[in-house]
Amino acid sequence: MSALPRSYYDRDTLAVARDLLGCTLVHDTPRGRAAGRIVEVEAYHGEEDPACHAAAGRTLRTAPLYGHPGFSYVYLIYGMYHCFNVVTRGEGHPSAVLVRALEPVEGLDLMRERRALRRRGAGPLAERDLANGPGKLCAALGITLEHNRADLIHSPLRVEAGAPPGAVVWTPRVGITVGTDRFWRCFVKDSTHVSRSHLNRVLAEVPRPATV
């Protein structure tokens, strides 16, 4: 299996978000391979999207969003967790897709080890809790700030094609206080590996939004 080509990411951000569902996020390291099927994503699009980090303009932190498609944008959130994005569209159009949840496929033991490092007491983690959140999947795959601005086409960190999912659902994005009117979160409807499952029932479902 090879990485998705750069042209895949140089498209409408919502289309890329939708199409990434069912693909596999893979990270090869000296400790082994960890991989998971992408089941939940969010689109962040342009300086006019108030929830996009680029809404604050181009800074040291947001520079990757303005760069080439097919590169990563990783940042630290709440001082403890990392969030992994893939940059979409051409240079100068600051937009990206946040990967929010994976269904573990390969390297489950490695994922469990990495995740356990972050927990205090606690028993063994259930398979569904390994990567069902943006911070969790970064921990499980060993993604840190050093993977910011990585070229996902030529890197141990990459996205590979996978079987398209069945029905998908679009809802407002999670964890933000602005831009909640845009239904730019997308997840595999039947997946048991989606984040914040307790919210999913009350959120409205809409057809695929217009392209951006």
- Residue 42 has phi, psi (to 5 degrees) of -135, 145
Kindly state whether residue 87 participates in binding DNA, applying the rule CB under 7 A: no
When binding is defined by CB under 7 A, the residue of 21, 83, 186, 188 that contacts DNA is 83
Residue 31 lies near DNA (rule: CB under 7 A) = no
18 CB-near residues (< 8 Å, 6+ apart): 41, 168, 186, 208
Query: Which C-beta is closer to DNA: that of 8 or that of 84?
Result: 84
The DSSP H or E segment spanning 136 is: helix 134-141
Which residues have a Cβ under 8 Å from the Cβ of 3 and sit 6 or more positions away? 152, 153, 154, 155, 158, 159, 160
CB of 2 to DNA, least distance (A): 26
Part of the chain binding DNA (CB under 7 A), chosen from 12-20, 28-36, 81-89, 151-159:
81-89
The answer to whether 135 contacts DNA (rule: CB under 7 A) is yes
Provide the β-strand partners of residue 33. Answer: 28
- CA–CA separation, 45 vs 59, rounded Å? 16
Interface ranges with DNA (CB under 7 A): 42, 44, 51-53, 56-57, 59-62, 65, 73, 75-81, 83, 85, 96, 98, 115, 118-122, 129, 133-137, 145, 173-177, 195-196, 198
